[in-house]
Amino acid sequence: MNYKITVLPGDGIGPEVMKQGTEVLQQVAQLYGFGVDLQEGIVGGASIDAHGQPLTDRVLDLCKQSNAVLLGAMGGPKWDGLDYSIRPERALLALRQELGLFANLRPVKLFSALAAASTLKQEVVEGTDLLVVRELTGGIYFGQPKGVTKLPDGTERGVNTEVYTTPEIERIAHVAFQAAVKRRKKVTSVDKANVLEATELWRKVVTRVHADEGYAAIQLEHMLVDNCAMQLIRNPRQFDVVVTTNMFGDILSDEAAMLTGSIGMLPSASVGGKVGMYEPVHGSAPDITGQDKANPLATILSVAMMLRHSLEQSAAADRIEKAVEDVLNGGYRTADIQQKDCRLVGCKEMGQLVRDRIGAVKG
């Protein structure tokens, strides 16, 4: 088997963490006897500098013709002043939309070695193992009308629109229920149905899919987003699969990341189209760029998700995840998860430690 992978390192710490991720990928490819053909593309701020736009047709085509896409991070202060239509983040939104990636899977699993690394109490975070299923190509991120207009009195009016249609809600509900079948069989659907009509529809459709489409074995509960934000840090063990809208998922997944010690630990998979895209949840972290301080584990774990979801190489994925766990158990930490009595390592060394461990463990 030979897989074509498009690699988009992006901006900030993206290239540093991606290097560690692709080296892990090449290592397991060799160990498990499959080929990976890595094609690199420029996106985000780097693409604005080179081509005047955050995503070129050439890079988009490259993505469409590959088996999967690995993405680093996009954006930085250098491009913050640009018009919204050509900001680095636009590339991310365009990739999601063009590749039809309507489902974003963000597993929030605490490695037990990091139970004391969180800013939250150990007894609260212990045992956290949940999956955020975020709708990714709809909602207020894409709804029309949008934009800022000038009013006759000289003031301005900014508009974004939350829109969801029945088919959009149905398909993301299926993703959540099917994920729950393989997990602890509970889905929490998060909305703001007491105020927002679009999410009242969300609740109605999720309820119907649950009742009518053969998910009787799954327990479904509905939760308002404000309550969910509180419950996540009050008692995260109550959650198995959390399914929610694009914007609520964006916010809740950053919050949930802190249960694992650091957002530097969180991988993600964006699926639903022909080609899946895999990326760390963290951003480009301009403040630590180029200092060998970034945590590469979210990217390395995203490589594992790609192996499992897009390449059907789950043994290789298991081996990576086990190696990450072993390295953390061995007391090695990047700065974001540093703890007393642990050894502080940089991005490169953390990547190397994981590869050493992959090489040492019998698969």
By CB under 6 A, name the one of 250, 321, 326, 336 that touches ligand IPM. Answer: 250
Q: Report residue 174: phi and psi, to 5°.
A: -60, -45
168 forms part of the interface with Mg ion (CB under 5 A): no
Q: Among 69-77, 92-100, 102-110, 243-251, which window interacts with Mg ion (CB under 5 A)?
A: 243-251
Whole-number minimum distance, CB 72 to ligand IPM, in Å? 12
Selection from Mg ion, ligand IPM, none that 200 binds (CB < 5 to 8 A by kind) is: none
Cα torsion at 128, 131, 135, 139 (round to 10°)? Answer: -10
* Closest residue to ligand IPM: CB criterion: 89
- Considering the rule CB under 6 A, would residue 89 count as an interface residue with ligand IPM? yes
CB 262 within 8 Å of CB 336 = yes
Q: Residue 133 binds which one of ligand IPM, Mg ion, none, with CB within 5 to 8 A depending on kind?
A: none
Beta carbons within 10 angstroms of residue 310's beta carbon: 21
- 3 is a catalytic site residue: no
Nearer to ligand IPM, 92 or 198 (CB): 92
Give, as ranges, the residues between 100 and 159 that touch ligand IPM (CB under 6 A): none
Among 28, 46, 60, 92, which residue interacts with ligand IPM (rule: CB under 6 A)? Answer: 92
Beta bridge partners of 36: 3
Give yes or no: 348 in active site. Answer: no
CA distance 238 to 245: 20
Closest contact distance (angstroms) between CB of 89 and ligand IPM is 4
- The secondary structure of residue 110, as a DSSP letter, is -
Min dist CB 250 to ligand IPM, Å, is: 4
Instruction: Decide if 38 contacts 102 (C-beta within 8 A).
Output: no
226 assigned to active site:
yes
* Residue 264: CB minimum distance to ligand IPM, A: 14
By a kind-dependent CB cut-off of 5 to 8 A, residue 240 interacts, out of ligand IPM, Mg ion, none, with: none
The backbone torsions φ and ψ at residue 199, rounded to the nearest 5 degrees and listed phi first, read -90, -15
Is 141 among the residues known to form the active site? yes
Please state, in angstroms and rounded to a whole number, the distance separating the CA atoms of residues 52 and 192: 39
> What residue 259 binds from Mg ion, ligand IPM, none (CB within 5 to 8 A, per partner kind)?
none
Q: Does 255 bind ligand IPM (CB under 6 A)?
A: no
Beta strand pairing status for 68-73 and 103-109?
unpaired
| Nearest residue (CB) to ligand IPM, 168 versus 250 | 250
State which of residues 250, 279, 321, 326 lies at the interface with Mg ion (CB under 5 A). 250
Judged by beta carbon distances under 5 to 8 A according to partner kind, the member of Mg ion, ligand IPM, none in contact with residue 92 is: ligand IPM
**CA-CA distance, 125 to 350, in Å (whole number)?**
24
| Residue 89 interface partner, choices ligand IPM, Mg ion, none, CB cut-off 5-8 Å depending on type | ligand IPM
Helix (H, G, I), strand (E, B) or coil at 104: strand
Tell me the C-alpha distance between 87 and 75, whole Å. 8
86-89, long-range: CB < 8 A, 24+ apart: 86/48, 86/52, 86/53, 86/54, 87/54, 88/10, 88/11, 88/43, 88/44, 88/45, 88/47, 88/48, 88/54, 89/44, 89/54
Residue whose tokens read 């889905």 = 187
Q: Which one, 23 or 89, has the nearer CB to ligand IPM? A: 89
Catalytically annotated residues: 141, 192, 226, 250, 254
Q: Which residues bind ligand IPM (CB under 6 A)?
A: 89, 92, 250
Q: Which residues bind Mg ion (CB under 5 A)?
A: 250
